[in-house]
Amino acid sequence: MAADGTSRQDWITAAVTLLARGISPDDMDIGSLCQAMPHPVTRGSFNWHFRAGRQAELHREITASWLAARLAAAGAAGQHRDPLARLRILHGAALGNGPADSAMRRWAAAPPRPGRDGSGHEVHRQLTAAIAQVDELTSALLTEALADLGLAGGEAAAVCATLAAAFAAWPPAPPGPAELEGLLAVLDRAADPGTAPAVQLIAGDTGDVLLVLAARNLPAGQLRALRAAAQRPDGPPQAAAPAAE
């Protein structure tokens, strides 16, 4: 801890506070960080805690903190069985983290600054890897939710790409909260088993065509299990034949 009682975490918290306001880490200087602290501090306190890598080390901490927060938000969405609830949570997380997400993406889009020890390129690699991880997880959660609603193939890909782009935009792009509810209502109707074919055709191992009865909004994992059972070499379990009279 520095002589003024300031800890390393205090500086990281100040940087995350600026990030939440939409300020790119590349635009943060020691002066702005001092102003974000809850009590007066000196520049010497920053140098005490980050004297090895200076701002490059702080940048690593900012990236790690942002990534942890975004993974936690995604994890909260994944805990819900209802696919519509998952989509609402993902949308809310995108809105709540919008300024910080936008700042991180602007930072990643800018050319890396080499830094005194050449650490700028390593920081930039960490940054782009973190953004890619968040985007991949968001896309996977969207795809899974849409599959649980009964959308697959090109339909699911189109909706997933549209939602992912909207969630990553700042200032917020449609859908807003009201528009999202309208979109979810459309998706919910599309997933209604009463409006979708209840029979799927699956090629058997010997060229036979098997009929599988399943609700279209059956979770993807259960549907895969049904397909696997239907394609077993011995076929699905058969009912016992009636006894001969």
Separation CA 38–CA 81 (nearest Å)? 41
Number of H helices, E strands in the chain: 10, 2
Does residue 241 lie in a domain region?
no
Q: Where does the pLDDT of residue 171 fall: very low under 50, low under 70, confident under 90, or very high at 90 and above? A: confident
Q: Which of 36-45, 62-71, 187-196 is least confident?
A: 187-196
CATH of residue 186 = 1.10.357.10
Residue 243 lies in a domain: no
Please state, in angstroms and as integers, the Cα–Cα distance from residue 94 to each residue in 90, 116, 140, 144, 170, following that order.
6, 35, 15, 18, 9
Q: Binning pLDDT at 50, 70 and 90, where does residue 206 land? A: low
Specify whether 52 is located in the same domain as 143. Answer: yes
Same domain membership, residue 135 and residue 51: yes
Per-residue pLDDT reduced to its tens digit, 114-125: 766 668 889 999
Same domain (yes/no): 104, 217: no
**Cα gap 96→80, rounded to integer Å:** 19
Residues 75 and 117 in one domain: yes
CB within 8 A of 8, min separation 6: which ones?
49, 50
Q: Which pTM does this prediction carry?
A: 0.71
Domain that holds residue 138: 8-191
Verify that 185 and 215 share a domain, yes or no. no
pLDDT digits (tens, 9 = 90+) for 219-243: 666 667 766 766 655 544 544 444 4
Q: Are residues 166 and 202 both part of a single domain? A: no
Residues 43 and 65 in one domain: yes
Are 176 and 209 within one domain? no
Amino acid at 190: A
Q: What's the confidence (pLDDT) of residue 124?
A: 93
**What is the C-alpha to C-alpha distance for residues 166 and 98, in angstroms, rounded to an integer?**
11
DSSP 27: G
